[in-house]
Amino acid sequence: MVKNSIITTMLQEKHFQIEVTMKIASNLNPVQRSIQEHLVRWKWEHIGHACGTYRDTPYDSILAAHDSDTLAHIYPPIRELVMAHQKQFKFKFHKHFNHMASSQAANMNLFLPILQSPFSADIFRAVKPDFNRIATEFLHNGWQIEYCDGFGKEGVLGDKNAKAGTDADIAIAYYNHDDELCLWLVEHKLTEAEFTTCGGAKSNGRTAIHDCANSFAEIMGNKDKCYYHSGARYNYWKITENNHGLFSGHTLFPNCPFKHGMNQLWRNMLLAVGVEQDDSQPYTYASFSVVHHPENYFLDRSMNDFRKLTNDSDRFNSFTSNLLVDAALKTEDRDLATWATWYRNLYKI
């Protein structure tokens, strides 16, 4: 987040218009600006005009402290559930959770109302055709926010610590139509223009051997060429080697494909297959998805490249959040209809 930008906007008040100023971050792309302006108007109407601050700078797009304490941008029927889940699993609220454009908050607002519904399987099948029923005996009644896998303090990827590590925004345990136990990891993006890029490429601990110009094949031939392997001692390339066929499209990329936006996609995919292939875990099959706002097309390039890299593997797919909302409305359930209206109004869908 950078210094704020003062925007003049017109609000319709009954039979006249009021000119107001809006303090939001500068350097936003058109999609980010449009959605953030909408979110601020929603905040003004439903929460209040008090600003939150970031680095002592006020922003209309951030909840004031007294509003953030009440989870004011979380769907009211799930607020207690969010707090109970956090108490049980000790997940961290993101640094910018209290921003109206928080993807962590949007993730909760999208999935948790569906997970509490008796029609959850019907809804999830709209984007996950093999979904038969939630495996409620695993995780927290079948789901977990900020899932990392629970393998000791470092996780199956070996990258988990107090400040960093690979998490899935939500994990859902379910049974497929063959009654196999499956794990579905989902990354939620709202207005982000890119996925998280490679931290190893920017590390101060890099030496002459660490060269991101190396190809996938060259790194596989000598994994020490990647800082993640020989510097950070993460398990990324070990798991990649064990699943070499999953990345069969690597020849399309002359340099390491994981330096830029595909880095986060790669790590989440490795988390899925790493958990699946660990003998201590009960899952027969694991997969990974990205859900994003229907207006956010900025992520398409990285996701399309990842599809090429993984040769359109059925372990990865992406979908827009409105598909779940539309599927929920088809159930004609009153509670889901109330939620769908609230969600659409908040996120401009």
Whether residue 187 contacts residue 289, with contact meaning beta carbons closer than 8 Å, is answered with yes
pLDDT tens-digit profile of 42-57?
A: 999 999 999 999 999 9
Whether residue 75 contacts residue 328, with contact meaning beta carbons closer than 8 Å, is answered with no
Whether residue 99 contacts residue 106, with contact meaning beta carbons closer than 8 Å, is answered with no
69-96: average pLDDT: 95
Q: Give the global pTM.
A: 0.93
Residue 165 in this model has a pLDDT that exceeds 90:
no
Highest mean pLDDT among 11-15, 23-27, 81-85, 147-151: 81-85
How confident is the model at residue 153, as a pLDDT?
A: 65
Query: Quick one: pLDDT band at residue 4, thresholds 50, 70, 90?
Result: low
Q: What is the largest CA-CA distance in the chain?
A: 70
310 phi and psi, to 5 degrees?
-95, 10
Give me the sign of the Cα torsion angle 38, 39, 45, 51.
Answer: negative
pLDDT tens-digit profile of 133-154?
A: 999 999 999 999 999 886 556 7
Give the percent of the chain with pLDDT over 90: 88
pLDDT tens-digit profile of 295-328?
A: 999 999 999 999 999 999 999 999 999 999 999 9
pLDDT tens-digit profile of 100-144?
A: 999 999 999 999 999 999 999 999 999 999 999 999 999 999 999
How confident is the model at residue 7, as a pLDDT?
A: 61
pLDDT tens-digit profile of 168-205?
A: 999 999 999 999 999 999 999 999 999 999 999 999 99
CA distance 132 to 137: 15
pLDDT tens-digit profile of 212-260?
A: 999 999 999 999 999 999 999 999 999 999 999 999 999 999 999 999 9
How confident is the model at residue 149, as a pLDDT?
A: 80
Residue 294 in this model has a pLDDT that exceeds 80:
yes
Whether residue 213 contacts residue 253, with contact meaning beta carbons closer than 8 Å, is answered with no
Interaxial angle between packed helices 334-347 and 103-115, expressed in degrees from 0 to 180 and rounded to the nearest 10 = 170
CA distance 334 to 110: 16
20 beta partners? 9
